[in-house]
Amino acid sequence: MILDDLTTVDLPTLRSRPLTPAARLTLVLHEIAAGNRTLGEDLTSWLGDLQDPAAPGGLDDLQSLVTYIFLVGETSEDDLGPVIDKLGPRAKEVIMTTAERLRAEGRAEGRTEARTEGHVEVLLGQLSTKFGPIPAHIRDRIRSADVAHLLTWSQRLLTASTLDEVFSEKA
């Protein structure tokens, strides 16, 4: 196993490494992708490492690399336009499909977070109405809980006569 500190390795050294194109580009992206708003421009010199999407495993490699780019980078599909154009229509389809999938996952995650926040606020309001001021450790427990626990506690609240009954692990 080789342990590499990429903060000490420059891009020409990475380019000269005897790696598969996907592995080399993965290391390069770890070096240059995070927070990069001009990644498309920076990647044009690495087009040789972006495998032909028609090659065996090429589409999967490209999808993995694009997913990483969109998750850690601040680049846009427009910025990647010149790279996409040079890779051809199959690559463009992979990139656009990946971008849309990530946007959909982000929207779903946002909806889940909003629902959870709503449950937290409702439960805290109901608890304080029924029992008065809620201790900090209970508020922290509620804010860090998943939706299933929040729903369980909301149901217990209806019949509980103490906070302990709401949050009992035995109930």
pLDDT at 93: 78
- What are the average pLDDT values for consecutive 10-residue runs of the chain, which has 171 residues? 77 86 83 82 80 65 78 76 78 77 72 72 89 92 87 88 88 51
Look at residues 18, 1, 17 and name the one whose alpha carbon lies nearest to residue 9. 17
CA 134, CA 129: separation in Å to the nearest integer? 10
Cα gap 11→23, rounded to integer Å: 14
pTM of the model: 0.51
Counting other chains too, the contacts that 2-10 makes at CB distance below 8 Å and 24 or more residues apart are: 6/30, 6/31
**Distance between CA 43 and CA 40 in Å, rounded?**
5
Residue 140, pLDDT score: 92
